[in-house]
Amino acid sequence: MISTQMLKGTLEGCILGIIRKRETYGYEISEALGQYGFGKITEGTIYPILLRLEKNGMIRATYRQSDVGPKRKYYSLTEDGETEFQSFLTSYRELSAAVAALLADVKGGNDDE
Amino acid sequence: MNKRKALQQQNNHYEKQLPKETRQILTDIVVYLKSFPISEYQVELVRLDITRMLLEGAARGASASEVLGEDYKEFCKGIVAELPPRTPLQTIAYHADILFLGLAILMPLWMVTGLLDSVQNGGSLIHVPVSSGTISATLIILVVSYAIVQYICKTSLEDESEQARRKNRFRFILILFFAVLVCMAPAILFRNTVLNVHIAVYIAGFVICFCVHKLLAAYTD
């Protein structure tokens, strides 16, 4: 299971990535995260992130009829959201490469012992 | 009807479709959100989103904690961090609104008791006597009622068993009873009239308080 602290820094970018693929809504996003291997992430966890992304103009919401209850909120990426996602990709690749290099070195060190 | 009231009615309608237990959790969440300095309109917007999540969750057979997570307090704090807080002017207007609403509720009560006192003492019905007791009681009632509302909002999501809840409810009613006694005591004990207000002026004062409350409520919505 991925630790909450590790998730915190990456969840926002990952949610942008899911919305970038196609217009989607809260529950579908939490299900998609689960299928990608993030573990159980409830709608309650991602709702404040969606509020933040919408407030900062990264995503926009459209209301569509739902089978039950009020109209469902579908999210799509804005231009600012696309820029933010690209920035996340660059940062994440740098981080991923740095961690991979460190782990390879540490693993190499372990092999030497 | 203003935007907030229309949204509130819509939310009330949808909330009724939730299972009883989930509805109680939603109520606790909304009450807790009201303890933060955010507008009533923002609370209603969030309430609509949460109601939608819970209704769709209930249709899938998911409980409130499966939809929102186990820690409702953290969930609320996460939401509040993303909502625009009240501006300093809105905060002043919000508290002034509580003050004027309190006065608009208490003034007719003090008028009736004051006039009854006046008639008993052979006075006229033209002037409303205002005693030092009613002034003190007004201040105490406003402070105590504000404190009680804040206490209810802040503790609405305390993790308690049903037994502890019942015990706390009994304790709360007891505290409320003594609070009412403390609030009313000055009005009963200190009945010396400090000023006589003409009934027309008194009623005008009441109307002004009520109108100011309505204006401030519309501004803070």
Write out chain A residues lying below 8 Å of B48, CB-based.
70
The answer to whether A68 contacts B75, with C-beta atoms less than 8 Å apart, is no
Which one of A45, A69, A73 has the shortest CB-CB distance to B14? A69
| Angle between helix B20-33 and B40-60 (nearest 10) | 160
**pTM score, whole prediction:** 0.83
How far apart CA B183 and CA B27 sit, in angstroms, is 29
The band of B168, judged by pLDDT with boundaries at 50, 70 and 90, is confident
Instruction: Provide the chain B residues 62-81 that lie in CB contact (below 8 A) with chain A.
Output: 66-69, 75, 78-79, 81
What pLDDT, on a 0 to 100 scale, did the predictor assign at position A66?
81
- The answer to whether residue A36 sits within a structural domain is yes
Mean pLDDT of chain B: 88
Nearest chain B residue to A52, by CA:
B82
ipTM (interface pTM): 0.87
- The answer to whether residue A75 sits within a structural domain is yes
A56 interfacial to chain B (CB closer than 8 Å): no
What range defines the domain where residue A54 resides?
4-103
Q: Can you tell me which residue has the tokens 């300095």?
A: B37
Under a CB-based contact definition with an 8 Å cutoff, are residues B141 and B185 in contact?
A: no
B187 alpha-carbon distance from chain centroid: 23
- The predicted-structure confidence for A58-75, as pLDDT tens digits, reads as follows 999 999 988 787 889 999
Q: How many CB atoms lie within 10 A of CB B103?
A: 19
- The answer to whether residue A111 sits within a structural domain is no
- Based on the structure, what is the number of domains in chain A? 1
- The answer to whether residue A15 sits within a structural domain is yes
- The answer to whether residue A30 sits within a structural domain is yes
- The answer to whether residue A110 sits within a structural domain is no
Listed in sequence order, the residues at least 6 apart from B130 whose beta carbon sits closer than 8 Å to its beta carbon are: B110, B114, B193, B194, B195, B196, B197
The answer to whether B75 contacts A66, with C-beta atoms less than 8 Å apart, is no
Indicate left, alpha or beta for B86 from its phi (over 0: left) and psi (-120 to 50: alpha).
beta
- The answer to whether residue A72 sits within a structural domain is yes
- The answer to whether residue A109 sits within a structural domain is no
- CATH number, domain of A91, equals 1.10.10.10
Answer yes or no: is pLDDT of B169 > 80: no
